[in-house]
């Protein structure tokens, strides 16, 4: 696994993006207030980019990786697609045994990650979905638990019998350690495909439960807390270019995150994704790839 990138300013961008995933659905904002606030901003910022307004250029894609070797479980992968202008986010858990042929050799994403770290996993994902190579961020258990604390945890219905969870079919509150335990559980009946579905589902549940306005207001403090806790290739430029847009999504978005369950076939120890699946999600969330990137100019 690649070493942590000390001193990086990646986390605010990651955090805002992840906050957008975990927070935008929690706060209802009246349309009237939105219009009034927008007018005020426009009056106070007559030149340059209007603060707090998103553009299609702010759309971004990140590969989330949870790497917890102490759990003796395969790493966890999830594709995050954010469209701040439309206040839309997509979560797609990727089975760690998803395969494709690269340079004439078959790899799973987990195997390819073990070979070259986050950049290899991001390249794998880009080829698998037919998109530009996404940015990546790698959490260990400590970093993920800190992020969960900031977000406020999640209430989620745990459908499997795992030690340390309540024996109930109803939603139960999960803290960071419990979330990591669930996301890295290795004995799901349907294997990695089921685990990937729970990854996307749980993260989408978190979207609708956190306080977006509060998290937006505490962005700098959260940055200072998490800056040295992850491994990533997200840069200061990435963050600065999208900070206002993601704050816009945090403040004004309502219940925007969705997750999609990957479709495909288990073949022995591996999972083969249906060729039609990337096409399906591109129709709604990757229109720039469908329309020659014209959406960014709208």
CATH number of the domain where residue 20 is located: 3.40.630.190
Judge whether 35 and 220 are in contact, CB under 8 Å. Answer: no
| DSSP, residue by residue, 226-251 | HTTSEEE---HHHHHHHHHHHHHHHH
| Domain total in the chain | 1
Q: Establish if 249 belongs to a structural domain.
A: yes
What pLDDT is stored for residue 290 in this prediction?
Answer: 53
Reduced to 3 states (helix: H, G, I; strand: E, B; else coil), residue 99 is strand
Q: 2 to each of 5, 112, 138, 230, 255, how far by Cα in Å?
A: 9, 13, 9, 11, 35
Let me know the angle formed at the C-alpha of 179 by 228 and 120, rounded to the nearest 5 degrees.
55
What is the DSSP annotation of 38-53?
HHHHHHH--SSSPTT-
Q: Report yes or no on 178 lying in a domain.
A: no
Rounded CA gap, 113 and 121, in Å? 5
Q: Are strands 172-174 and 154-156 parallel, antiparallel or unpaired?
A: antiparallel
Q: Provide the pLDDT for residue 222.
A: 74
User: In this structure, are residues 74 and 110 in contact, taking their beta carbons and an 8 Å threshold?
Assistant: yes
pLDDT at 4: 46
Assigned token pair, 104: 């004439």
150 within domain boundaries: no
Confidence at residue 170, expressed as pLDDT on a 0 to 100 scale: 94
Q: How far apart are CA 292 and CA 73, in angstroms?
A: 39
Give backbone dihedrals phi and psi of 256, rounded to 5 degrees, phi first. -105, -15
> What is the pLDDT, as a whole number, of residue 171?
95
* This prediction's pTM: 0.81
The full DSSP string for 110-161 is HHHHHHH-HHHHHHHHHHHHTSPPPEEEEE-HHHHHHHHHHHT-EEE---S-
Q: Is residue 133 one of the residues assigned to a domain?
A: yes
C-alpha to C-alpha distances, 195 to 1, 76, 92, 163, 271, nearest whole angstrom: 22, 9, 11, 17, 12
Instruction: List the chain residues with pLDDT less than 50.
Output: 1-12, 15-17, 19-51, 291-298
Residue 260 domain-assigned? yes
Residue 149: inside a domain, yes or no? no
Distance of CA 297 to the CA centre of its chain: 25
| pLDDT at position 52 | 56
What's phi and psi for 24, nearest 5 deg?
-60, -25
Structural domain that includes position 39: 10-143+190-282
Secondary structure of residue 274 in the 3-state scheme: coil
By 3-state DSSP, what share of the chain in percent is helix, strand and coil, each rounded to 5? 50, 20, 35
**Residue 160 in domain:** no
The two beta strands, 135-139 and 154-156, are: unpaired
Task: Tell me whether residue 215 is in a domain.
Answer: yes
């Amino acid at each position: 696994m690649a070493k942590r990138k000390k001193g990086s300013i990646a986390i605010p961008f990651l955090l805002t993006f992840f906050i957008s995933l975990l927070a935008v659905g929690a706060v209802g904002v009246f349309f009237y207030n939105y219009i009034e606030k927008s007018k005020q901003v426009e009056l106070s910022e007559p030149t340059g980019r209007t603060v707090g307004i998103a553009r299609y250029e702010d759309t971004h894609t990140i590969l989330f990786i949870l790497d917890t070797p102490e759990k003796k479980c395969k790493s966890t992968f999830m594709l995050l697609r954010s469209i701040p202008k439309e206040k839309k986010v997509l979560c797609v858990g990727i089975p760690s045994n998803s395969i494709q042929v690269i340079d004439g050799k078959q790899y799973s994403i987990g195997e390819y990650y073990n070979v070259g770290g986050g950049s290899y996993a991001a390249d794998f994902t880009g080829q698998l979905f037919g998109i530009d190579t996404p940015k990546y961020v790698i959490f260990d258990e400590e970093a993920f638990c800190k992020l969960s604390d900031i977000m406020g945890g999640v209430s989620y219905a745990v459908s499997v019998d795992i030690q340390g969870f309540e024996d109930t079919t109803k939603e139960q509150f999960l803290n960071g350690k419990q979330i990591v335990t669930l996301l890295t559980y290795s004995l799901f009946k349907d294997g990695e495909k089921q685990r990937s579905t729970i990854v996307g589902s749980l993260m989408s549940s978190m979207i609708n439960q956190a306080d977006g306005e509060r998290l937006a207001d505490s962005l700098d403090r959260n940055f200072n807390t998490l800056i040295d806790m992850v491994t990533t290739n997200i840069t200061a430029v990435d963050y600065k270019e999208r900070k206002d847009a993601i704050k816009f999504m945090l403040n004004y978005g309502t219940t925007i995150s969705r997750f999609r369950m990957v479709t495909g076939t288990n073949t022995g120890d591996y999972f083969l994704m249906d060729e039609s699946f990337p096409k399906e999600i591109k129709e709604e969330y990757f229109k720039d790839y469908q329309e020659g990137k014209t959406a960014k100019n709208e």
